[in-house]
Amino acid sequence: MPNAENWIIDANPTKDFFISMLIKDIGTTRAIIDLVDNCVDGARRLRTNGDYDGLRIEIETAKNHFQISDNCGGIPVDLAREYAFRFGRPAGMAATPHSVGQFGVGMKRALFKLGKKFRIESTTQTSRFVVEEDVEKWKQKEKWEFEFRELEPRRQRVALSETGTTIRVWPLHPTIAESFSLETFRGRLAAELSEAHIQSTSNGLEIVFNGIPLQHQNLVLFQSQHMKPAHRRLVFYDGTKRVNVVLYAGIADSDPSAAGWYVFCNGRLVLSADQTTVTGWGETREETVPKYHNQFARFRGYAFFDSRYASLLPWNTTKTGVDSDSPRYRATRLEMVKLMRPVIDFLNRLDAEKDREITDDKPLQSAVKAAKPADLEDIATRPLFLAPKAAVVKVLPQTARIQYAKPLEKVRLAQKVLKVRTLREVGEKTFDYFYKSECES
């Protein structure tokens, strides 16, 4: 009879393995945006009405450190102790409604990804804590625990303006430091930061990157009396839990890099200008919706998934795409395909019109010109994209090409008599000669 302990197989993860797995899955810019997500969740806890005026997130990428700080209310000590540092979200944890942070990995993953040590200081109106850790040393420890370095679970109430969280990571991993030194990287990060939370920034949240407030572009679609974007609302239920989906499809400026679908989950952009099968585009030109090509550079589609229960939304853990197997996403995608088809048809007609030789009458192009960009909130619901319909007139070719072979000797002679240099001219002149004498008279 073997003794009990021989029956146990050790499957504990090593911290080293766990960390390396965790950070491999995510790009540096995305890891940083994950930290911004936590700030946005703070803003949501603080301002349930969705007005974020006066709230601000500052991000700094320096030579040897990274810092992000916000004035979004701070992390309560309980939340830090029970959840914020756990890997994965414990069941039964009260979640921030409509939260962006969902999987319980974002912050830790970003910290490990960026550098060797981190320090988190957070102040709420009634509490304050500091956690500081050297990751290399932490890896050596057996236990999966962090320690508060400073802790004031109950303190004198302070003004809201003094609350907030600051996270600092230093020294940076060499590859991260190198990225930070590149202007192209910083440019990309700024661009991604400015669009990731476009909904929250539209509602007043300010994001400052290396001292410069990021500008965001409003989401727009062209609209006029004769051209109206499609705008539908869908509701899905999981038991009694609701997921709202709002869809828009239409046209905007011709821009191949901006064309495509934009998918948001609880306000967070997870897919940007997508032109792949994930959002319903075809793989070939002949499918329900054709493969993307540049005559569709005016297409824009927006899909907003929103739920109190973030776990019901179809995002992947890195929030860099959608979980295309999610049943709610599949059902939505079908509706997206239905909405985009008439837009694609219109853009095909627009393209055909461009190719027409008659230059004076281009009703579709005039219709596009007459339409003005409208903010999404100014677009009324309607099940179908409306655009002027011009009949596709098949322009019959006005010329025909004739080709034939004749004995070289005879051709050369004809060429000589006609006094022309090319064989093409021989053909044309002989045809003209025949036509003049036999057809015109």
Partner 1 sequence: MTASYERIHYGLRPAKNVQRKMLVESIRRLSEFATVDSYRYIGFGSTYFSDFILFHKSLGIRNMISIERDISNRPRFEFNRPYNCIRMLFGESSEVLPTLAWNTKTILWLDYDGSLESSVLTDVKYFCASAVPGSVIIVTVNAEPRALDEQKPRLEELQKSLGKDRIPPDVKEGDLPEWGTASVFRRILASEVFETLSERNGGLADENKMEYKQLYYFCYRDGDRMLTTGGLVYERGQGPVIARCGFDRLDFLRFSQNAKSKPCILEVPKLTYKEIRHLDRQLPRVKGKKVTARRVPSTDIKQYEGIYRYFPTFAETEV
Please state the closest distance from residue 286 (CB atom) to partner 1, in A: 4
Eight-state DSSP code of residue 197: T
Residue from 345, 378, 425, 432 that binds partner 1 (CB under 8 A)? Answer: 345
Under the binding rule (CB under 8 A), the answer on residue 240 touching partner 1 is no
| Contact pattern from residue 160 through residue 199 relative to partner 1, giving x for each residue in contact according to CB under 8 A and a dash for the rest | ----------------------------------------
* Residue from the set 21, 62, 191, 334 that interacts with partner 1 by CB under 8 A: 334
Nearer to partner 1, 83 or 346 (CB): 346
CB of 345 to partner 1, least distance (A): 5
User: Do 213 and 275 meet the contact criterion of CB atoms below 8 Å apart?
Assistant: no
C-alpha–C-alpha distance, residues 78 and 282, integer Å: 49
Question: Is residue 112 near partner 1 by the rule CB under 8 A?
Answer: no
Tokens of 382: 């309607």
- At 396 the three-state DSSP class reads coil
**What token pair was written down for 358?**
């008659």
> Can you tell me which of 49, 284, 359, 437 binds partner 1, judged by CB under 8 A?
284
Classify the phi-psi angles of 88: left when phi > 0, otherwise alpha if psi is within -120 to 50, otherwise beta: left
Does 287 participate in binding partner 1 (rule CB under 8 A)? yes
Taking contact as CB under 8 A, which single stretch among the options 26-34, 77-85, 323-331, 363-371 is the one that binds partner 1?
323-331
| Burial label, 80 (beta-carbon count in 10 A; 0-12, 13-18, 19+) | buried
**C-beta of 16 vs 287, nearer to partner 1:** 287
Reduce the secondary structure of 227-294 to three states and give it as a string. Answer: CECEEEEEEEEECCEEEEEEEEEEECCCCCCCCEEEEEECCEEEEEEECCHHHCCCCCCCCCCCCCCH
Across-strand partners of 130?
121, 150
Q: How many residues bind partner 1 (CB under 8 A)?
A: 28
Binding segment (CB under 8 A) for partner 1, from list 98-106, 154-162, 325-333, 359-367:
325-333
Locus of tokens 């036999």: 438
Are the C-beta atoms of residues 330 and 321 closer than 8 Å to each other?
Answer: no
**What's the residue count for the chain?**
441
Distance CA 160, CA 424 (A): 85
Nearest-approach distance from CB 305 to partner 1, in angstroms: 12
Q: Which of 22, 158, 160, 234 binds partner 1 (CB under 8 A)?
A: 234
Closest to partner 1 by CB, 268 or 338: 338
Confirm or reject binding of residue 335 to partner 1 (CB under 8 A): yes
Quick check: 283 binds partner 1 (CB under 8 A)? yes
Amino acid in position 354: K
CA 58-106-139 angle, to 5 degrees, is: 110
CA separation for the pair 158, 124 (Å, rounded): 8
Q: Which of 39, 227, 337, 364 binds partner 1 (CB under 8 A)?
A: 337
- 327 lies in the binding site for partner 1 (CB under 8 A): yes
- Confirm or reject binding of residue 341 to partner 1 (CB under 8 A): yes
- If one asks whether residue 31 binds partner 1 (CB under 8 A), the answer comes out as no
* Contact pick of 36, 205, 333, 426 for partner 1 (by CB under 8 A): 333
Name the segment binding partner 1 (CB under 8 A); options: 39-47, 104-112, 230-238, 405-413. 230-238
Q: How far is the CB of 236 from partner 1 (least distance, A)?
A: 5
74, 326, 368, 376: residue in contact with partner 1 (rule CB under 8 A): 326
Selected from 62, 191, 331, 413, the binder of partner 1 by CB under 8 A is: 331
User: Of the candidates 57, 329, 353, 376, which one interacts with partner 1 according to CB under 8 A?
Assistant: 329
Taking the least distance from each CB to partner 1, the nearer of 106 and 280 is 280
Phi, psi (5° rounding) for residue 243? -125, 125
The residue written with tokens 């179809």 in the block is 314
The alpha carbon torsion through 307, 217, 44, 76 (nearest 10 deg) reads 130
Contact set with partner 1 (CB under 8 A): 234, 236-237, 283-284, 286-288, 326-335, 337-338, 341-342, 345, 383-384, 391-392, 394
